[in-house]
Structure 1
Amino acid sequence: MLQIIGLGDSLMHFNSYDTYPQTGWFQVLDRFVKDPQEVRFLDFALNGRSTKSFIDEGQFEKSLSKAKKGDIVLISFGHNDEKIQDPSRYTAPYEGYLNNLKKFYEAFSKIGCTVCFLTSIARLKYGEDGKLVQTHGEYIQAMKDAARECGAYLIDLNKLSTEYFNRADFDANKKFIMTLEKGQYENYPNGNDDTTHLTMLGALKICELILPELKKIPELDKILL
C-alpha cells in the first residue's frame, strides 16, 4: 500500500474536534484520493515546529522509522524557523533551514521515498496597496534552493496561495483562516484573531491549489482525483 507521509507544522497538523474549525491541509488530503483503501496517510506534522525542533524532539526519526521504499513524503516548514527570538526553533534560511531540508531529503531518498517540498503558505496580511505582504523573507528561496540542489520535487505553495488570496480582499478570504467572530464557533467563544492558520474551508482550498502540482508526481497521478 502506498504511504503518503507528512512532515511540517500546524498548517499540516491533524486537529481534533476541540480546536475546530482549525484544520491542517494534510488532514483533509485523503478527500482527494480516488480509492482511500489504496493509500495510507501518516501525518507527523506538529503545531509550532520548525525543522530544528522537529529534529531535536525526535519527530524526524519517528517519521523516518515508518517510511518504506516507494512512499511519498510531503514536507512543508518555515513559519516557525523564522522565529529568531526562539533559539529552540530558529534556523537561518541559508544555513540551518536549508541544511535541515537537505537532511530530510537525503534520509528519505536513501530508503527509496519520493520527496516533495512545499513552500510556506502566505499569511493573510494585506498592505496598503490591497495586496498580500510577503512575510516569509528568504525562507521561500531557501527551500527552492534545497529542492534544486537535492533534485526533489517542489510545489511553490507560497506563490499559489498568494495568487489565490490576491484575487479578493480580507473580508472575502477570512473564511479560509482562523479569524473568527465572537460566538461564531463553540471552541472560540471570544472569537479569534489569526491570519496564519487554516479553517476547514482553508485546508480544502489549499488541497485544491496543490492538487495539479501533486499529480506531476507519477505515483500520485495514479491515485489522486
Structure 2
Amino acid sequence: MKIQFYKALTLAAIAVSLSFIQAPKKTTLYIIGDSTAANKDPKTYPETGWGMALQDFFKTDVTVDNRALNGRSTKSFRAEKRWDPILAQLNPGDYVFIEFGHNDEKIDKPTVGVSLADFKLNLVNYVKETRSKKAFPVLLTPISRRSFKNGVLIDSHGDYPRITRQVADSLNVPLIDMLVKTESLLTRLGEEPSIKLFNHVDSGNVNYPTGKKDNTHLSPEGAKQIAGLVVKGIKELKLDLAKKLK
C-alpha cells in the first residue's frame, strides 16, 4: 500500500515538474527591405532574394519571416502599410533586419525616393518602433551592385549607406555593413567571375526568352552567399541569434 502511495506521489511530482518545463521559445526574424532581399515569384526565377536563403542557416527555433518587397523604400514600405502588421505582431525578443537604400536613392520617383534627411528619419522611426515592442532592430547597409568600370568596382549608393551607419552609431543599433561585405566579395571574385552571383540568364530561358543581364538582383548562388555574409555579421556582432545558428 505504501509502495503504491509513494509511486503515485512520485508520478504526481514528475507531472508537476513537467508542467513547468516550457518548449523552447521561438524567435521570429523579420526582414524589411527591397528586392535584393525579397521573396520572388516563380515567374522571375532564377532571380532570388538573399532573404529566401537565410532560413537554411538557422535551427528550428528561429523563423525567418521575409517581408522585403521589390521596389520598396523606407518611405513606400510604410506608406503602403507594409510595416503596420509587422509592428502589431512583434514579440519581445524578435528581430527586425532593416535593409533599405536601393530605392530610397531614386529621388526622381517621389512616391519612393527620399532625401538623405528623410531617409535618416525613416530609419530612426523603424528602430524606435521596433524597440517599443522590446524587439531588436538590426540595420544593414544595401548590398553592392555589380558595377565595374575598367575592372574596378564602383559604389552606386551615394551617401545612403553613410546615413545607415550614422543612425546605427547614434542609436547604438547593431549594424551589418552589407555594402562593405559585398564590395569585398565582388572585388575578390573579379568582374567576370562575379557574374555567377547575379541574375544573368542566357536567351531561351522560360522566364527570360531573350535573356537577362541584371547586375542588381541575385542568382540562387548569389542569394546563398549574401545570406552567408549576413550570418557572418550576426556572428561578428555576437547577437543572441548566433546561438540559434546551425
Which residue among 51, 62, 66 is the counterpart of 1:26?
Answer: 51
Q: Distance in 2 between matches of 1:12 and 1:196?
A: 11
CA offset digits 1:101-160 (Å, max 9, x no partner): 0000000011111111110100001012x1211000000100000111111100110000
Q: Distance in 2 between matches of 1:158 and 1:105?
A: 20
Mean Cα deviation higher: 22-31 or 211-220: 211-220
- Give the TM-score normalised by structure 1: 0.94
1:123 is aligned to 2:145:
yes
1:205 is aligned to 2:228:
no
The alignment partner of 2:212 has SS state of coil
Q: Aligned-pair distance for 1:178?
A: 1.2
CA offset digits 1:65-89 (Å, max 9, x no partner): 1211100110100000010110001
CA offset digits 1:195-221 (Å, max 9, x no partner): 100111110010122212112343211
Mean Cα deviation higher: 192-201 or 210-219: 210-219
Identity over aligned residues, as a percent? 32
**1:163 paired residue number:** 184
Which residue among 62, 67, 77 is the counterpart of 2:90?
Answer: 67
Unaligned runs of 5+ in 2: 1-25
Q: Distance in 1 between matches of 2:222 and 2:183?
A: 13
The alignment partner of 2:64 has SS state of strand
Q: Distance in 2 between matches of 1:23 and 1:89?
A: 22
1:78 is aligned to 2:101:
yes
Q: Distance in 2 between matches of 1:90 and 1:207?
A: 26
Q: Distance in 2 between matches of 1:132 and 1:155?
A: 20
Q: Distance in 2 between matches of 1:181 and 1:171?
A: 15
1:113 is aligned to 2:135:
yes
Unaligned runs of 5+ in 1: none
**2:203 paired residue number:** 182
| Greater Rg by CA | 2
Q: Distance in 2 between matches of 1:57 and 1:17?
A: 24
Q: Distance in 1 between matches of 2:86 and 2:30?
A: 8
The alignment partner of 1:220 has SS state of helix
Q: Aligned-pair distance for 1:52?
A: 0.4
Q: Aligned-pair distance for 1:44?
A: 1.2
Mean Cα deviation higher: 200-209 or 169-178: 169-178
**2:30 paired residue number:** 5
Misfit runs of 4+, over 4 Å: none
CA offset digits 1:148-176 (Å, max 9, x no partner): 11111001100000011001333211111
Q: Aligned-pair distance for 1:179?
A: 2.1
Matched residue type, 1:3: T
The alignment partner of 1:166 has SS state of helix
Q: Distance in 2 between matches of 1:118 and 1:126?
A: 22
Mean Cα deviation higher: 119-128 or 172-181: 172-181
The alignment partner of 1:143 has SS state of helix
**1:147 paired residue number:** 168
Q: Distance in 2 between matches of 1:218 and 1:209?
A: 15
Matched residue type, 2:189: A
1:98 is aligned to 2:120:
yes
Number of equivalences: 220
Q: Distance in 2 between matches of 1:136 and 1:218?
A: 27
The alignment partner of 2:149 has SS state of coil
